[in-house]
Structure 1
């Protein structure tokens, strides 16, 4: 499976209770995690919980004071699948303390205190972020769900809603670009999605080997695919390949960096260079806190 996995897992403060799991964790808030722009395959429910799909599993999570209530997943499944997905081997309290080098970053980490960077499946991440180019999050989410229904496998029903797995590269490579444009509403990205699926299906990437590549080399390899520019490549590096030194620069990050750090308008490349210089190996974490803080508070808009 094309996803990041840790070799060992630390024991969590988690227990089973009446068919649900109760997780006690100081850096885990489903709202912060799912609404900070890093993933698209989820629903926000009326009760404030979040239902997400990952590796053909449906999981529902809700904050309740200092607890996270987790539904529809067994304890074994949580450790086997969602431990790595939620990056639970990483100490985010330590990271937040380390990167809070000024008042701005302190405010950003406090605002998004429950963020965890997801380790997502490679192919779904790649296609999702091709769709994300010059697009809005509600439309991206809708396209991802429609593509899953059209080309994925039926998983089951939860809370009155049917769920489907994200398609494999083999399945999506057989799609017609005109169907993606008409039904999934992906616009100009239609042909790029089918072309990328064909290239992946033909074996252009070997996740287990490619994750060992140096980040600049892997970024270059990603950008050889249709529909993948610098920002999309960096999102894939950060969210699928666990390259936490990566700093994707989109419209919001550009505004935030210019308003809070650089104090003038500059090219995106200069923002990437600034992040590399000042944030280093933790740039990806900084990016997520700043993106969430900046977008939610309309900084620089």
Structure 2
């Protein structure tokens, strides 16, 4: 049954196996997409081939709106009233952005086939978690977003990123929600430029907004970029020189680009690797945190945690190298599928016989605090009942420990926002390390 074209949208034939918006836009890669459930009246019938959500993102000069059926991606762009120019040209620009942002030149179905042949673990999850691909984001937005991700969860990262946009970027336009919704109109703000975040007073403002020690990292990173590259706007691309420079890292080797990223405040190996993978075309890079380490231990023969529980550079490299050897050139992409499949918030994803379900709670991102997520890829039906009972008991114990640790971390985070930081690690991190060492 063909999908009816939503009013004002254009259609791009694209099966969910190549791109699942319900997974890709909620698995911790990007934090600025607004997601609106579509009213049943607009759907007319509860059909698997009728879009159930609309996704919106504000770019520099337009808001892109997306909907998806099983075999089609519907898109439209909304411009400020002052924008002029050829309508067809603007539509072509929007389609070009979609193809670039979702990297649609990469055949994801073929990659899934390759990974399934090379990895039995991947083979077990491939059908449930189809359509998960890496975004190609703006490097500056990606960098600042993942500085926010340190010792954090997706809900709070999203709140921080939106606060940045609302505070330091003027609204581009205001849009009503999809037809039939009782929600009110909301303004859409682009991501702020480096120069907007570089002023010294930004730190105090961000601390007041709840950024804690990350406020200083954001301001100093933006200031480093502006000081090194200036603020004159490039009339052809509308990028500031520092933003344009960050994009040149795509042409560097992975090691050279990582070296440049590690110079910025608040950027360690994990944050740098997230930026390399998600905005700088380094498809082989695997960001490693304790969650990924647990997946590697359970399924890929890696050794257990260290006595201190810390992720040493040597262990980080060991996990990354091992997983890259399994998945090959696009290892970072494969890692994202396994990471998503292992998340508690995606426990019911893909279980419907007709369409993927949208996670009801935010997923975690590489670099965030695990909020009770249990390690290991979900493979329902593969474990005997007695073994399952033992695992459930073990999980309950681990869950209690995680809850205790997270409570301490949350208390520490609340305290740290009123205290100066030494710039090396957060108070929450130090509390966690002490607890692991206890």
Interval of TM-score (by shorter of Structure 1 and Structure 2):
0.7 to 0.9
Contact 1:108 1:293 in 2 (8 A): yes
Residue 301 of structure 2 corresponds to residue 276 of structure 1: no
Moved more, 108-117 or 78-87: 108-117
Change over 3 Å in CA distance of 1:251–1:46 after alignment to 2:
farther
Instruction: Using structure 2 for the length normalisation, give the TM-score.
Output: 0.61
Task: Compute the displacement of 1:186 (Å).
Answer: 1.4
Partner of 1:6: none
Q: Classify the secondary structure of the residue corresponding to 1:211.
A: helix
Listed as ranges, the matches of 1:1-301 within 5 Å are: 18-26=7-15, 27-47=18-38, 48-72=53-77, 75-100=91-116, 101-158=118-175, 159=177, 160-174=185-199, 175-183=201-209, 185-203=210-228, 206-262=245-301, 264-266=303-305, 267-295=315-343, 296-297=346-347, 298-300=374-376
- 2:8 & 2:329 partners in 1: Cα distance? 40
CA shift, 1:131, in A, is 0.2
Task: Report the aligned-residue RMSD.
Answer: 2.1
Equivalent pair of 1:43/1:50 in contact (CA under 8 Å): yes
Instruction: Give secondary structure in 2 for the equivalent of 1:72.
Output: strand
Return the alpha-carbon distance in structure 2 between the equivalents of residues 71 and 79 of structure 1.
Answer: 9
Q: Which moved more, 1:73-82 or 1:124-133?
A: 73-82
CA distance in 1, matches of 2:266, 2:154: 17
Alignment partner of 1:49: what SS? strand
Structure in which a larger fraction of residues adopt strand:
1
Distance 1:42 1:168, change over 3 A: same
Q: What's the TM-score, normalizing by structure 1?
A: 0.87
Q: Which residue of 1 aligns with 2:364?
A: none
1:70 aligned counterpart, secondary structure? strand
Structure 1 unmatched ranges of 5 or more: 1-14
Per the alignment, residue 309 of structure 2 pairs with none
Runs of 4+ in 1 over 6 A off after TM superposition: none
Deviates more, 1:95-104 or 1:237-246: 95-104
**Separation in 1, partners of 2:34, 2:294:** 28
SS at match of 2:228: coil
Deviation at 1:22, TM superposition (A): 1.9
Q: What CA deviation, in whole Å up to 9, does each residue of 1:32-65 have, x standing for no partner?
A: 1101211111122133332223344322222223
Q: Secondary structure at the match of 1:203?
A: helix
Distance of aligned partners of 1:118 and 1:260 in 2 relative to their CA distance in 1, 3 Å threshold: same
Distance 2:125 2:289 in 1: 17
Give how far 1:19 is off: 1.4
